[in-house]
Amino acid sequence: QQPVQSPQAVILREGEDAVINCSSSKALYSVHWYRQKHGEAPVFLMILLKGGEQKGHDKISASFNEKKQQSSLYLTASQLSYSGTYFCGTEPQAAGNKLTFGGGTRVLVKP
Amino acid sequence: DGGITQSPKYLFRKEGQNVTLSCEQNLNHDAMYWYRQDPGQGLRLIYYSQIVNDFQKGDIAEGYSVSREKKESFPLTVTSAQKNPTAFYLCASTKWGAEDTQYFGPGTRLTVL
């Protein structure tokens, strides 16, 4: 079953923060976050593993709440380059690298 | 440079024709995947393969076929049985069993005329 992402879209001014959520009805082993620009392939941002720590890259970080089967992606002090569609890919227990992707969250950062 | 290549970038097909999309990787990855993406939508899994000469259906396999004769290559054939094949097709690969993510190729945009 497909994970649910929220919100579906968000518009930010440069420098503002945003949170994107990804919820699953299944127990999860890992959550993978990607960003996709229009017409291009998804680019890997980070992976969160069950029992692992919160990850971060530059001003983008993520957390994984195993009890709620939910992951959140935090965009801090957003930059114009953060615009795109963000997807979470979830891997249930013992699925072996087989991901199910959410419907995506469109992010537009304006000057 | 290691990576995943897909060809062609754009492909046009007449109704009733089969067409094959190429996916090659030189990352020494074990597993390869094919996804379909419709405008404004997420990625849906068509087929995946963990090892050579073996592959499994994903969520939307009907109207598609694949082969995995070499570790580096995983071509996808869109057959005439696929009712609505116009979409963006993405190939990905990963090291099977490792705590690693999937890496994507640049994609092929297929349009049926």
pLDDT in tens, A11-52: 999 999 999 999 999 888 889 999 999 989 999 999 998 876
What is the bridge-based pairing of β-strands A100-101 and A84-92?
A: antiparallel
Name the percent of chain B lying above pLDDT 90: 80
Q: What is the pLDDT of residues B5-34, one digit of tens each?
A: 999 999 999 988 999 999 999 999 999 999
Q: What whole-number distance in Å separates Cα of residue A101 and Cα of residue B105?
A: 17
Q: Is the pLDDT of residue B100 over 90?
A: no
Mean pLDDT of chain B: 93
Considering CB atoms only, which of B94, B99, B106 is closest to A41?
Answer: B106
In the block, tokens 């990963």 appear at B94
**Which residues pair with residue B87 across a beta bridge?**
B110
Q: Is the pLDDT of residue B98 over 70?
A: no
CA-nearest of A111, A105, A74, A110 to A10 is A105
Q: Which residues of B touch A (CB under 8 A)?
A: 31, 35, 40-45, 48, 50, 88, 90, 94, 96-107, 109
Q: What is the pLDDT of residues A53-95, one digit of tens each?
A: 766 677 899 999 888 899 999 999 999 999 999 999 998 876 6
